[in-house]
Amino acid sequence: WAAFSDDIEAILTLKRERNAVILAHNYQTPEIFHCIADIVGDSLALARKAMTVEAKVIVLAGVHFMAETAKLLNPDKIVLIPDLGAGCSLADSITAQDVRLMRQRYPGVPIVTYVNTSAEVKAESDICCTSGNAKAVVESLGVPRVIMLPDEYLAQNIAAQTDVEIIAWKGHCEVHERFTPADIRELRENHPGVTVLAHPECPPDVVAEADFSGSTAAMSDYVETQKPPRVVLMTECSMSDNVALAHPDVEFIRPCNLCPHMKRITLANIRMALEQNHHVVTIEPGIAGRARLAVERMLAI
Ligand code: 13P
Ligand code: SF4
C-alpha cells in the first residue's frame, strides 16, 4: 500500500475540502475499493445509495453509465467521472433509435433496459433493471412477454428462471462473454471441490455449469454466508481481489477477465478529478426526465 499512500492522503483531504464522496463499483482495484471509497457495491447498490448521498460532489469510480445513473438520481449535485473513456461494451451495443425500432416492431410489449446503457437508451424504455433485480423487474410488470435490452445472455439467463417470455437484443459484455463451460470443467479438474460462482452476464452454458449465479453483490454475499473453502468467481478480476481481502480463510482460484473500462479509473485520475473538477457528467434535461423515471420505477420495486 505504501506506493499508493501519497495519492490516498491527497484524496482523503480533497474529499473533506470539497465535501465529496466516492462511489466505487465492486470491479475497482483494491486500493480504490478499500482505501478511499465511501460507498461500494454492485450497480443496484450504487444506484440505491446514490439517492442517500448528502455531499455536494459525487465521484464515480466505475464506468460512465454508472456516473449517469448517479447524476439522474442527483440532478443538483456535481457528479464527476475521472476518465470519460470508461465505457461499456453493453452500453455501446444499442442506441435510442434501436429501442424506438424495437417498440415499433413489438407494439405494447414493455421494454426493460439493463442499467448498463446510456441515458438516451434508458429514456426510451419503460423500466430499468440490474443483474441483481432483473427477474423481479420482469415479473413485476404482470405481462406474458417483455423486451429486455441489451444483454442477450442476461436475458436468456433470466428467461430460464421465469415463465415470462423474453425478447432479447444481441449485446454482450466483452468481459463475461469470454468464459466457457470448458473453463469451468478444467477448473473443477485442477481444483477439486472448488465452488464456481458466475455472473449472469456470462453465456447460459457457463451459468449452467456453475454452482451459483448472481450479481457481483450476490457473489460477495455467497462467499460471506456460505464460506466455501475454495471458490472461483467467473467475473472481472478485481472482484476476487476485493472479496479475498475480506476473507483470508477462503482460497480464491483466480482465472478472471479484466474490464479495460473499469481499469481506466485510477487513484491518480480520481485525485485529478477532485483537484480539477472534471469530468462533470451532464444529461440533457429532455432525456434526463424520462431516463430518471425508468430508473426510479426500478428502485420502487
Ligand atoms: P453488477 O455489479 O450490477 O452485478 O454488474 C456487473 C457489471 O458488469 C457492471 O458493469
Ligand atoms: Fe461493461 Fe462488462 Fe465492463 Fe461491466 S464488465 S462495465 S458490463 S464491459
Write the residue with the smallest CA distance to atom 2 of ligand 2.
173
Q: Cell numbers for 111, please give them.
A: 421494454
- Residues 140, 135: Cα–Cα separation, whole Å: 8
Residue 1: what pLDDT?
72
Question: 185 and 228: one domain?
Answer: yes
247-258: average pLDDT:
95
- Do residues 118 and 106 lie in contact, with contact meaning Cβ atoms separated by under 8 Å? no
**Closest ligand relative to 261 C-alpha:** 2
Residue 143: what pLDDT?
98
Question: 7 and 76: one domain?
Answer: yes
* 278 is known to lie in a ligand binding site: no
Question: 123 and 166: one domain?
Answer: yes
Q: In what order do the strands lie in the sheet with 39-41?
A: 39-41, 20-25, 57-61, 78-80
Strand, coil or helix: 40: strand
- Do residues 44 and 23 lie in contact, with contact meaning Cβ atoms separated by under 8 Å? no
Distance 99 CA to ligand 1 centre (A): 22
Which domain covers residue 112, as residue numbers? 91-172
Q: Of all atoms in ligand 1, which is nearest to the CA of residue 201?
A: 8
* 275 is known to lie in a ligand binding site: no
The string of pLDDT tens digits covering residues 164-218 is: 999 999 999 999 999 999 999 999 999 999 999 999 999 999 999 999 999 999 9
Question: 14 and 53: one domain?
Answer: yes
Residue 40 pairs with which residues in a beta bridge?
A: 24
Distance 16 CA to ligand 2 centre (A): 31
Write the residue with the smallest CA distance to atom 7 of ligand 1.
43
Question: 82 and 152: one domain?
Answer: no
Question: 81 and 108: one domain?
Answer: no
Strand 165-168 and strand 145-149: the pairing is: parallel
Question: 167 and 187: one domain?
Answer: no
Ligand 2 shell residues, CB under 6 Å:
63, 88-90, 116, 173-175, 201, 236, 259, 261-262
**Domain-located, residue 295:** no
Q: Of all atoms in ligand 2, which is nearest to the CA of residue 173?
A: 2
**Domain-located, residue 198:** yes
The string of pLDDT tens digits covering residues 269-279 is: 999 999 999 99
Q: In what order do the strands lie in the sheet with 251-253?
A: 212-213, 195-198, 230-234, 251-253
Ligand 1 pocket residue status of 238, Cβ below 6 Å: no
Q: Of all atoms in ligand 1, which is nearest to the CA of residue 173?
A: 8
**Domain-located, residue 117:** yes
* 237 is known to lie in a ligand binding site: no
Question: 79 and 142: one domain?
Answer: no
Q: Of all atoms in ligand 1, which is nearest to the CA of residue 26?
A: 2
How many domains does the structure of the chain reveal?
A: 3
The string of pLDDT tens digits covering residues 131-171 is: 999 999 999 999 999 999 999 999 999 999 999 999 999 99
- Which one of 128, 144, 172 terminates a domain? 172
**Domain-located, residue 298:** no
In this structure, what CATH number is given to the domain that contains residue 95?
3.40.50.10800
The phi and psi torsions of 16 (rounded to 5 degrees) equal -65, -45
Question: 217 and 162: one domain?
Answer: no
Residue 78 pairs with which residues in a beta bridge?
A: 57
**Domain-located, residue 50:** yes
The phi and psi torsions of 127 (rounded to 5 degrees) equal -160, 150
* 224 is known to lie in a ligand binding site: no
- Residues 196, 230: Cα–Cα separation, whole Å: 9
Question: 119 and 160: one domain?
Answer: yes
Distances (CA, A) of 201 to 158, 213, 243, 248, 282: 10, 9, 19, 27, 28
The string of pLDDT tens digits covering residues 55-103 is: 999 999 999 999 999 999 999 999 999 999 999 999 999 999 999 999 9
- Residues 299, 293: Cα–Cα separation, whole Å: 10
CB atoms within 10 A of CB 225: 7
Strands (E) in 169-250, as ranges, are: 195-198, 212-213, 230-234
**Domain-located, residue 300:** no
Question: 14 and 79: one domain?
Answer: yes
Strand, coil or helix: 270: helix
Q: Cell numbers for 153, please give them.
A: 445472455
Question: 164 and 96: one domain?
Answer: yes
Ligand 1 pocket residue status of 133, Cβ below 6 Å: no
What ipTM goes with this model?
Answer: 0.97
**Domain-located, residue 290:** no
Q: Cell numbers for 232, please give them.
A: 472461483
**Domain-located, residue 294:** no
